[in-house]
């Protein structure tokens, strides 16, 4: 008789965003005239920029002629895109990453979820707490997380690294030594960032302990401060201990277009095996590549015009971030993030829990945010607002919150 993968049954049933959607729907039904402003899910709202749109049109036309039609893409992605990435994201930042160490994909969510497959089931995983839920859930699916404890909100086999006000919303080296360390900076959900010196300490730690860092840099383009590294490969020794994940979703607005990449240096070895060769095998076996049309759009992101336009998109969102941050600060809220990241992390007032504040905000300001506890136990008592909304609506949301 067929059996299911029972590890899937361990997953927590109510996913954060579906609970939010349910609550918002109920509120909408009870208050049909309410003008709800959504600063909850981290999805972009601005349209694709003209240079990207032109490249998409051009690539579509190429698909209409036999001479320029393209079928399956090369396993690792088209050379034109991988070279543009290697030059712009790495060489120009002084990082030693070659085009053939880059694997083009349909986004950082899939890569961050799939990457654990190339590691042993008994690897010990460490995550920041709060955390982007995908890292935890995919390790649950893989049978690596152990059992869930309702009281603590933690999995027995996962090492949680609390990122609290006391730690500056950054992880500290855990007492138990992990094998796989997920780091995401600039951080979702807290918007915190690590300096290069601090990240170097993690790289040194990983090298010393033969651990691997999975570094999710999906929000790299939001970095505004000089001492914040754009890539983990700015740190010495990272080629020996780090995998980096990147996305075109938040810099260029590709959430609905789908494009990302993973970097695995060829020097990254575990037990005499290169992780590059394992991921190449996995990629080649299970994946047939991001669409040609989309890879051309990705290439356009690195053109001079493309870069300017993308800067404009990021600036638009970061103006929102500044408005939220300053508005809430002035109103007496304890807030952080929003400087190198499109997320603002606020302490819930009057000792409310994250979900109590969610309800309070929805009922009194018709504003939707994300309860911090949905990202892990250390997120309790915090709340995330995103800067991805329309500028006028964002201002209105802040004004409503301040005047509540
Ligand atoms: N990594 C982090 C930390 C994210 O917050 C997100 C999306 O919100 C992703 C990855 C997903 O990126 P993509 O759209 O490329 O799948």
Tell me the pLDDT tens digit for each residue of 122-135. 999 999 999 999 99
Q: Interhelix angle for 304-330 vs 50-62, to 10°?
A: 140
- Rounded Cα distance, 90 and 205, in Å: 23
Question: Is the beta carbon of 105 within 6 A of some atom in ligand 1?
Answer: no
- Rounded Cα distance, 143 and 158, in Å: 11
Nearest CA to ligand 1 atom 11: 109
Residue 45 confidence (pLDDT) above 90: yes
pTM for this entry? 0.97
Q: Measured over all CA atoms, what is the biggest interatomic distance in the chain, rounded to whole angstroms?
A: 66
- Rounded Cα distance, 334 and 330, in Å: 10
- Rounded Cα distance, 162 and 192, in Å: 13
Give the model's pLDDT for residue 16.
81
Q: Which of 17, 45, 109 to mutate to test the pocket of ligand 1 (most atoms within 8 A of CB)?
A: 109
Residue 183 confidence (pLDDT) above 80: yes
Q: Which atom of ligand 1 is nearest to the CA of 260?
A: 15
Q: What contacts 51, CB < 8 A, 6 or more positions away?
A: 300, 303, 305, 306, 309
Digit-coded pLDDT (tens) for 139-179: 999 999 999 999 999 999 999 999 999 999 999 999 999 99
On whether the CB atoms of residues 231 and 65 are closer than 8 A, the answer is: no
CA-CA-CA-CA dihedral for 237, 192, 165, 373, to nearest 10: -110
* CA distances (Å), origin 267, targets 84, 101, 232, 239: 21, 10, 15, 6
- 364 CA to centre of ligand 1 in angstroms: 30
Residue 108 confidence (pLDDT) above 70: yes
Instruction: State percent of the chain over pLDDT 90.
Output: 97
- 111 CA to centre of ligand 1 in angstroms: 9
Q: Which atom of ligand 1 is nearest to the CA of 247?
A: 15
- Rounded Cα distance, 253 and 301, in Å: 10
- 115 CA to centre of ligand 1 in angstroms: 14
All domains of the chain in start order, with CATH: 6-47+307-402 (3.90.1150.10), 53-304 (3.40.640.10)
Digit-coded pLDDT (tens) for 245-260: 999 999 999 999 999 9
Digit-coded pLDDT (tens) for 297-334: 999 999 999 999 999 999 999 999 999 999 999 999 99
Q: Which atom of ligand 1 is nearest to the CA of 250?
A: 14
- Rounded Cα distance, 229 and 50, in Å: 29
Give the model's pLDDT for residue 18.
84
Pairing of strands 180-184, 212-216: parallel
- CA nearest 129: which of 384, 371, 344, 377? 377
Pairing of strands 260-263, 102-105: antiparallel
Question: Is the beta carbon of 247 within 6 A of some atom in ligand 1?
Answer: yes
Res. 278 pLDDT band, cuts 50 70 90: very high
- Rounded Cα distance, 245 and 183, in Å: 10
Residue 397 confidence (pLDDT) above 70: yes
Average pLDDT for 361-382: 97
Q: What contacts 22, CB < 8 A, 6 or more positions away?
A: none
Give the model's pLDDT for residue 14.
62
- Rounded Cα distance, 107 and 251, in Å: 12
Nearest CA to ligand 1 atom 2: 218
- 48 CA to centre of ligand 1 in angstroms: 18
Q: Which atom of ligand 1 is nearest to the CA of 248?
A: 15
Digit-coded pLDDT (tens) for 16-43: 888 899 999 999 999 999 999 999 988 9
Digit-coded pLDDT (tens) for 283-293: 999 999 999 99
Give, as one character, the DSSP assignment of residue 89.
I
Average pLDDT for 370-388: 97
- Rounded Cα distance, 335 and 329, in Å: 6
- 46 CA to centre of ligand 1 in angstroms: 17
Phi and psi (nearest 5°) for 350?
Answer: 55, 30
The reply to whether omega before 189 is within 30° of 0 (cis) is yes
- 167 CA to centre of ligand 1 in angstroms: 24
Residue that has been written with the tokens 């909850």 in this structure? 40
Question: Is the beta carbon of 112 within 6 A of some atom in ligand 1?
Answer: yes
Give the model's pLDDT for residue 41.
80
Calculate the average pLDDT of the chain.
97
Question: Is the beta carbon of 107 within 6 A of some atom in ligand 1?
Answer: yes
- CA nearest 16: which of 384, 393, 277, 387? 384
Q: Which of 250, 340, 387 to mutate to test the pocket of ligand 1 (most atoms within 8 A of CB)?
A: 250
- 68 CA to centre of ligand 1 in angstroms: 32
Question: Is the beta carbon of 82 within 6 A of some atom in ligand 1?
Answer: no
- 250 CA to centre of ligand 1 in angstroms: 8
Question: Is the beta carbon of 188 within 6 A of some atom in ligand 1?
Answer: yes
Give me the half-sphere count of Cα atoms (radius 13 Å) on the Cβ side of residue 390.
Answer: 6
Structural Rg of the chain based on CA atoms: 21
């Amino acid at each position: 008789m067929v059996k299911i993968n029972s590890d899937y049954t361990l997953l927590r049933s109510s996913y954060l965003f579906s609970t939010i959607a349910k609550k918002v729907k109920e509120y909408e039904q009870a208050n049909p005239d309410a003008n709800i402003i959504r600063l909850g899910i981290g999805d972009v709202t601005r349209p694709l920029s003209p240079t990207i749109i032109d490249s998409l049109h051009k690539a579509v036309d190429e698909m209409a002629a036999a001479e320029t039609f393209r079928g399956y893409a090369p396993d690792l992605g088209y050379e034109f895109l991988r070279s543009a990435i290697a030059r712009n994201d790495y060489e120009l930042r002084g990082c030693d990453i070659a085009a053939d160490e880059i694997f083009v994909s349909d986004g950082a969510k899939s890569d961050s979820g799939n990457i654990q497959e190339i590691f042993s089931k008994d690897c010990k995983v460490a995550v920041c707490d709060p955390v982007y839920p995908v890292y935890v859930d995919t390790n649950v699916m893989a049978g690596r997380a152990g059992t869930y404890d309702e009281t603590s909100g933690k999995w027995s086999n996962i090492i949680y690294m609390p990122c609290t006000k006391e730690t500056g919303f950054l992880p500290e080296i855990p007492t138990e030594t992990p094998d796989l360390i997920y780091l995401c900076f600039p951080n979702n959900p807290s918007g915190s960032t690590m300096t290069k010196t601090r990240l170097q300490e993690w790289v040194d730690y990983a090298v010393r302990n033969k651990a691997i860092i999975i570094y999710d840099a999906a929000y790299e383009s939001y970095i505004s401060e000089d001492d914040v590294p754009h890539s983990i490969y700015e740190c010495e020794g990272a080629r020996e201990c780090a995998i980096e994940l990147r996305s075109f979703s938040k810099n260029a607005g590709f959430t609905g277009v789908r494009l990302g990449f993973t970097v695995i240096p060829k020097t990254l070895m575990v037990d005499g095996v290169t992780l590059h060769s394992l991921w190449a095998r996995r990629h080649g076996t299970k994946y047939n590549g991001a669409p040609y049309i989309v890879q051309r759009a990705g290439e356009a992101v690195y053109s001079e015009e493309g870069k300017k336009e993308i800067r404009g998109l990021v600036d638009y969102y970061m103006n929102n971030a500044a408005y939220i941050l300053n508005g809430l600060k002035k109103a007496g809220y304890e807030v952080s993030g929003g400087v190198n990241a499109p997320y603002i992390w606020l302490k819930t007032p009057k000792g409310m829990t994250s979900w109590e504040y969610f309800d309070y905000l929805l009922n009194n300001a018709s504003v939707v945010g994300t309860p911090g506890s949905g990202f892990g136990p250390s997120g309790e008592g915090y709340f995330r607002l995103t800067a991805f909304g329309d500028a006028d609506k964002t201002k209105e949301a802040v004004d409503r919150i301040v005047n509540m």
